[in-house]
Amino acid sequence: MSRADLGKDPEAVATMFDAVARRYDLVNDLLSLGRTKAWRKKVVKIIKPSSGMKILDIAAGPGSSSEPLHKAGADVISLDFSDGMLEQGRKARPYLKFIKGDALKLPFGDNEFDVTTISFGLRNTKDYEAALREALRVTKEGGRMVIVEFSTPSGSLFRKIYMNYLMKSLPKIARKTSSNPVAYEYLAESIRAWPDQGKLARKMIANGWKDPTWINLTGGVVAVHTGTKRS
């Protein structure tokens, strides 16, 4: 069994995701208590994909976040640095464009995409501020970045219940459903250590994004942050 730690060594993170790739979508649905599909629908409404729109989906995994964008007519590239995730994605969704790449060194030129997006992957980068700057570089002037990430529930009671679930119930569920349950211990730890909504918005500003806003989903369990590249 393999897992990364909060140092987030890229090789360790990639190996960990290789190990969970086969059942990644199924286990995520179970661990989110079935909310992933509803979250994804909300994100698609925020992005508003359309024919001809160029979208880079960073840390796309097996492509579940890319699929609805593609079906809406957008030109989507699904990028991930885990070979296991890319292999699973190409099997499950052969109609998507999968490319291997690192969020900290994107294999694209400047100003190429109308939208860059990353769902539940920014938290796993070695340097998320560097990832914000790289996404900014490849986004067109006036384009947007849309970040979907686990965040901090707004209510104190709900926050306490949620954190208890993360540290106690989530690993138990993962042991019964995942091929690599210890990876989900890392998941719980990384969520607890992640900046809250306001701090992430301030980091977006510090790294070049304009007018960041966010929308809380499921009481702040997940937040969708949006920022614009200055024209």
Cα–Cα distance, 40 to 59 (Å, whole number): 15
pLDDT in the model for residue 174: 61
**21's tokens:** 């790739």
Cα–Cα distance, 200 to 212 (Å, whole number): 9
pLDDT tens-place string over residues 142-198: 999 999 998 888 877 777 777 766 666 666 766 665 556 666 677 777 888 889 999
Q: Which residue is listed with tokens 């067109």?
A: 140
Q: Beta-carbon neighbour count of residue 142 at 10 Å?
A: 12
Cα–Cα distance, 106 to 216 (Å, whole number): 28
pTM (2 decimals)?
0.84
Decide the pairing of beta strands 139-150 and 222-229.
antiparallel
Instruction: List the pLDDT tens digit at each of the 231 positions of the chain.
Output: 444 444 556 666 566 665 555 656 655 665 566 788 899 999 999 999 999 999 999 999 999 999 999 999 999 999 999 898 899 999 999 999 999 999 999 999 999 999 999 998 899 899 999 999 999 999 999 999 999 998 888 877 777 777 766 666 666 766 665 556 666 677 777 888 889 999 999 999 999 999 999 999 988 889 999 999 998
For residue 118, give the nearest of 60, 71, 173, 161 by alpha carbon. Answer: 60
Identity of residue 114: D
Domains defined for the chain, CATH in brackets: 10-229 (3.40.50.150)
Q: Beta-carbon neighbour count of residue 102 at 10 Å?
A: 18
